[in-house]
Every structure is written in C-alpha cells, then in structure tokens.
Structure 1
C-alpha cells in the first residue's frame, strides 16, 4: 500500500464552487486555495486527495490511519501528524527558497516541531455530548525549532529564519486567528447548514 501517491484522477468537489487555479509567478503576491476531498476507509483509515492549487502541479492521494489503541491498523500517519509535518515542511520550503535566491554558507539545516494536544472532558450541557463522549479537542501550543550548522553571523541567520517564519503560510494558519466555518450538506442539498 502506498501512503502517498500521485492521484490518477481528480475528484470533483460537490459543495464548493470552482476556484480559479492561477499560474503563480515567483515573487509576486498571489491568492490561491488548497482543496481537499477525504472519505473514510476500513477501521480508522481515511483516504484524502489533495487537489493542486496550480494547474501545473499534480494532485496527491494520501492514506491516513490511527494507532491500534485508537482502533486503527497503524499503517499510515495520523491526521495530526500530517498537520504538524506540514508546518515543518512549509517552513523548510521557505528557507530553501530563500537560500536558493540568496545563498549562504550553511552545512546543515533541520526543523523540529513539537505540538502539545489534549482532550477536555465532554461538556454535559453541550448539544453533541451524547455522541460517544468524544470530548473537546485543544492544542496547548506548538514550538518550532530550526537547527543550523553554519559559519555565517548569528544575526544573518536570525534574519533568515524571521523572514521565512513570517512568510510561512502553515505557521500563519496555526499562529493567527483564522476565520473558519463548518457546514453540513445532507442528501445533495444545495446550501449546507452551519454547524
């Protein structure tokens, strides 16, 4: 089983309208979306397709699972594992892009991320409390460490990481309050209802 593979076909979105997939030119400001389609598989497994934000990028099929203690088969990374890996890889992408344009003498770069998660006890007054005691999930914080071996001056390396951190959309997604919505679409209805 391949955990990540190039999607052979691109699923259609059923609830979102089309989003223009622009050609992104390096260095120019741009707006774009990532669309994801996810469906359950056997046990705790899930299959998702990442729809490319650009017409010249492939779409990717990703398998996700949970550990055996959570009813999964432990055959693929967990959803939160993918989320936090995305933060590390996005920051590293910005660092690599910066260094491609403005090379520095760097021997080694490594990004380490720690995210601290917890589940609160279910609120007995919450309207969904009868759904198996799922509780309320939370993230108490995450720390992102960049380890660099380099003879470059510390100030230059600090500037590099500050610029890349500020450009990192994954960090911005987690660090800033981002407006979110959840809508439920039942039996192919046209307009979902807010949940």
Structure 2
C-alpha cells in the first residue's frame, strides 16, 4: 500500500539536518475509493492523484508541541522509553498535536503525561522545523513553562524524568531538542544581563 520515496541527504543523519518530510511513505492506493494512485502536477507541484475519483492527495505536516521547564537553573528532560524513536536518549516533554487540540494544550498534556508535573505556559520559545521522518514531527512548537503542581515521576512513553544543569545535559534525541535548549540558554543569558 505504501512505497517509500528516496530523498538524497547531505548527512547520514536526517535528524541532524532538520530536514522536513524526508522518507515519508508514499500512498499507492486512494484512501477514498481504493483505486491506484498516480503522480500528477497539481497546485504547483507533483502530488499523488486518483484518476478514478479525482482526489488529489495533500501531504500535511505533522505538528508536535513541547515545553521547556526550568527549576533552580536546571531544565526538565525525559528519557525516551520503549517503542519510541531514539529510545534511551533525552528530550524535552513533547508530543504530537491531536486533531482536536491546540499546540499549547498539547504541550501541557505531554508534560503531565511524561513527567507527572502540571505546568503553566509562560511564553512561546521557538517554532522548529523537524526531520519529518521516522516518526519525527515536521514542526515542533516549543513553549516555556513553570511548574504549578504534580510530582515528578516518569510516565507514558518516558522511562525517566529529571532536571539537568544546562552545562551537563545527557545525550539528546533530536536536533530540535538541541535547538530549543540553545534558544533557552541564550534567553537566560539575555535576562541575566
């Protein structure tokens, strides 16, 4: 049902490059009528098209949201658990935006599910293009937040959760996590000056 489109990368690791939509599986059959799809020029680019029912397939980006939470100069991170991409590596609490959620709601929910902590969002930190492949989001919307309740305990798809000083971080899972934490560090330096 799917065929994988090959895309040339300049790096062996698309996560490091932050490439969008790389390696997405391509539909071969129409989700509406089941007929075979073909490539066709539509709206300025080649898209999958069903000649049987005239459906044009639009590949929409997958959006995720997360939150950078600081406590006593340390940042909250989760260790990615079993059945996740980049298992064992660390990231900020984050996850995919559900169809009926706004990104801010997602960031708060993911923090609660992955760390046991309730947070209040205090601002938008960054919007980061992601790798878009192997289950990674096309865009990560990153907020800043402060703890309002709860008890630190790893949950959902996190094996561990903890606070780390910015100069002694564990191995990070994604380029987007690195970028978010770099932005957070720069912002902290500006606030201290």
Tell me the TM-score range normalised by the shorter chain: under 0.3
Structure with greater helix share of residues: 1
TM-score (norm 1): 0.24
Query: Bigger relative contact order, structure 1 or 2, given CA contacts below 8 A and separation 6+?
Result: 2
TM-score by structure 2 length?
0.24
* Between structures 1 and 2, the one with greater strand share: 2
Considering only CA atoms, is the larger Rg found in Structure 1 or Structure 2?
Answer: 1
